Amino acid sequence: MHTDVGTQHAVVIAGGGPTGLMLAAELALARVDVAIVERRGSQDVIGWRSRGLHARSLEVLDQRGVAERFTSQGQAVQNVAFGQAPLDLSDFPTRHNHGLALKQEHFERILAEWVGELAVPVYRGCELTGFAQGDTGVDVTLSDGRALRAKYLVGCDGGRSFVRKTAGIEFPGWDASISYLIAEVEMTGTPAFGIRRDEKGTYAMGPAEGGRVGVVLREEQVVTGEAPTLELLRAGLVALYGTDFGLRGATYLSRFSDMTRQAASYRNGRVLLAGDAAHVHSPMGGQGLNLGVQDAVNLGWKLAQVVRGVSPESLLDTYQAERHPVAARALRKTMAQTALSRGDARMDAVRETLSELLKMDAPRKQYAAMMSGLDIHYDLGTGHPLLGRRMPDLDVTTPDGPRRVFHLLHGARPVLLDLGEPGTLDITPWADRVQRVAARYAGAWELPVLGAVTAPVAVLIRPDGHVAWVGEGTDQGLREALTRWFGSPRAT
């Protein structure tokens, strides 16, 4: 392993999309020297990608104090659905009981501005051409001839991830069963907007910006990898609608499929994966961007603690243990929704039955919480229902005045929220890492789907907003939880 390569960083992130940007912000907040390598010369996103955020992603941004930057540019909507059955979140116990309609181009731009404020360097207009890892770091070569050295490399470089392939990480799953053309076009005719469905799949047209028309067409034959053409789009319109509606041109034309794959491992030594580099699937349900952002928030604080020597490298194993099952579940649900998009009589009956079920309160809440990310539960052991789940954003009273719990997480540091008698919980050996906040709260503790839960006396909250320990009258297990997540106690 060379020690005389070029610029050094603690962490290099390959890819400056939503996942890479969010991870960079998390690491920068944790005072880690991080840099992004991004092949695009600017943050521009071309065409139709993700068109919104789900509730848990809004909560994650709220935990960092930046949610307003995004909500002010988008529109609150009930955007959760399963198999075309709408799922209302408006009665959920969260400040963000809705989604946000916001195109990926705007999401990325706002996220990039925040990352810029955090002074994260971005190597633009170039990409990784190779890397080699050793016992102490990773040597990275870039397409512009530069060399970087990092302690860790994270691939946030999309479904065709160079990092994943070069690291030799398997990507098992299912090949595409259907492919779609997606375009933003100019037409002289006036198509009838709306969704149509046949035995092979769903297709649709709708209004787009600037008087253009948004088109999503299923293809007669599954095609992957090959770049679509305007003539292919014209033929697809004629096949499905009987006319091309005077198609004149396309400002955007791409293809997507329901190929579904997940990395067998999210880590190989000093190389890690997040976002689409770790999992790809159909866009049905709008899970992709949201999964990636939440991957980043789970990984960021853990990687920061390992880089800074606070925690052993084994802490990184919990990243895969926690996030792999979340993505695996999302992949299966998107596969189910792809099947539901087909329109033969039998599938119509299935969709009708499912719609009836999802109008019932309990199934509606369960699926709405799942699709929005509000029900994510990491297996941190048995005990109180809060353990491993997202911490509710309560209004608490502290010695410094009223605070929201999410305000306490703005610095991406762990918090011990002590709601009991003062002085009974001693975390002095961790005082340099964990913020202890004495507080009072008299209201109900309520979780999505589960409803009201017993009020705890204290809660240890990880930087990602998930609960690592619940105090129910004693400090039993607190030292073990502090050591497990935030390193060994320091002598006082």
Pairing of strands 81-82, 85-86: antiparallel
- Residue 491 scores a pLDDT above 70: no
C-alpha span between 467 and 234 (Å, rounded): 53
Model confidence at 398, pLDDT cuts 50, 70, 90, reads very high
What percent of the chain clears pLDDT 70, i.e. is strictly above it? Answer: 97
Residues 213 and 82 in one domain: no
- Residue 202 scores a pLDDT above 90: no
Domain closes at, from 239, 257, 275: 257
pLDDT at 248: 93
- Residue 45 scores a pLDDT above 80: no
Residues 145 and 284 in one domain: yes
C-alpha span between 282 and 83 (Å, rounded): 13
Condensed to tens digits (0 to 9), the pLDDT of residues 171-183 reads 999 999 989 999 9
Condensed to tens digits (0 to 9), the pLDDT of residues 49-68 reads 566 899 999 999 999 999 99
Q: Is residue 429 part of a domain?
A: yes
Residues 245 and 278 in one domain: no
C-alpha span between 427 and 430 (Å, rounded): 5
Task: Lowest mean pLDDT of 50-64, 336-350, 428-442, 468-482, name the range.
Answer: 336-350
Comparing C-alpha atoms, which of 62, 132, 15, 78 is closest to residue 372? 78
Condensed to tens digits (0 to 9), the pLDDT of residues 215-233 reads 999 898 898 877 899 999 9
C-alpha span between 166 and 35 (Å, rounded): 20
C-alpha span between 358 and 353 (Å, rounded): 9
Which two tokens mark 3? 């020690």
- Residue 159 scores a pLDDT above 70: yes
Contacting residues for 430 by C-beta, under 8 A, at least 6 apart: 482, 486, 487, 489, 490
Domain closes at, from 257, 283, 301: 257
The CATH number assigned to the domain holding 478 equals 3.40.30.120
Q: Is residue 2 part of a domain?
A: no
Residues 168 and 190 in one domain: no
Residues 227 and 355 in one domain: no
Residues 471 and 458 in one domain: yes
Domain closes at, from 237, 257, 277: 257
- Residue identified by tokens 């253009």 is 212
What percent of the chain clears pLDDT 90, i.e. is strictly above it? Answer: 80
Averaged pLDDT for residues 31-36: 98
Condensed to tens digits (0 to 9), the pLDDT of residues 229-246 reads 999 999 999 999 999 999
Residues 20 and 130 in one domain: yes
Q: Is residue 452 part of a domain?
A: yes
- Residue 156 scores a pLDDT above 60: yes
**The model's pTM:** 0.94
Q: How many domains does the chain have?
A: 3
Model confidence at 5, pLDDT cuts 50, 70, 90, reads low
Mean of the per-residue pLDDT values of the chain: 93
Contacting residues for 366 by C-beta, under 8 A, at least 6 apart: 375, 449
Model confidence at 1, pLDDT cuts 50, 70, 90, reads very low
Looking at the DSSP bridge assignments, the partners of residue 205 are 194, 215
Residues 184 and 159 in one domain: no
CB 301 within 8 A of CB 463: yes
Averaged pLDDT for residues 301-307: 98
Q: Is residue 388 part of a domain?
A: no
Q: Is residue 295 part of a domain?
A: yes
Q: Is residue 131 part of a domain?
A: yes
pLDDT at 195: 87
301 phi and psi, to 5 degrees?
Answer: -70, -30
Q: Is residue 194 part of a domain?
A: yes
| SS3 per residue for the chain | CCCCCCEEEEEEEECCCHHHHHHHHHHHHCCCCEEEEECCCCCCCCCCCCCEECHHHHHHHHHCCCHHHHHCCCEEECCCEECCEECCCCCCCCCCCCEEECCHHHHHHHHHHHHHHCCCCEEECCCEEEEEECCCCEEEEECCCCEEEEEEEEECCCCCCHHHHHCCCCCCEECCCCEEEEEEEEECCCCCCEEEECCCCEEEEEECHHHCEEEEEECCCCCCCCCCCHHHHHHHHHHHHCCCCCEEEEEEEEEEECCEEECCCCEECCEEECHHHCEECCCCCCCHHHHHHHHHHHHHHHHHHHHCCCCCHHHHHHHHHHHHHHHHHHHHHHHHHHHHCCCCHHHHHHHHHHHHHHCCHHHHHHHHHHHHCCCCECCCCCCCCCCCEECCCCEEEECCEEEEHHHHHCCCCCEEEECCCCCCCCCHHHCCCCEEEECECCCCEEECCCEEECCCCEEEECCCCEEEEEECCCCCCHHHHHHHHHCCCCCC
Which two tokens mark 9? 């960083």
First-residue to last-residue Cα distance in the chain: 39
Which two tokens mark 209? 């910006």
The CATH number assigned to the domain holding 208 equals 3.30.70.2450
- Residue identified by tokens 């060399």 is 147
Comparing C-alpha atoms, which of 122, 128, 156 is closest to residue 142? 128
pLDDT at 58: 98
Q: Is residue 151 part of a domain?
A: yes
Number of neighbours of residue 401 by Cβ within 10 angstroms: 6
Condensed to tens digits (0 to 9), the pLDDT of residues 72-98 reads 999 999 989 998 899 999 999 999 999
Residues 405 and 429 in one domain: yes
Condensed to tens digits (0 to 9), the pLDDT of residues 356-381 reads 999 999 999 999 999 999 999 999 99
C-alpha span between 82 and 97 (Å, rounded): 17
pLDDT at 415: 98
Condensed to tens digits (0 to 9), the pLDDT of residues 96-154 reads 999 999 988 899 999 999 999 999 999 999 999 999 999 999 999 999 999 999 999 99
Residues 430 and 418 in one domain: yes
CB 238 within 8 A of CB 377: no
pLDDT at 4: 47
Task: Lowest mean pLDDT of 22-36, 49-63, 408-422, name the range.
Answer: 49-63
The CATH number assigned to the domain holding 20 equals 3.50.50.60
Residues 165 and 197 in one domain: no
Residues 164 and 196 in one domain: no
C-alpha span between 463 and 460 (Å, rounded): 10
User: What domain range is 449 assigned to?
Assistant: 395-486
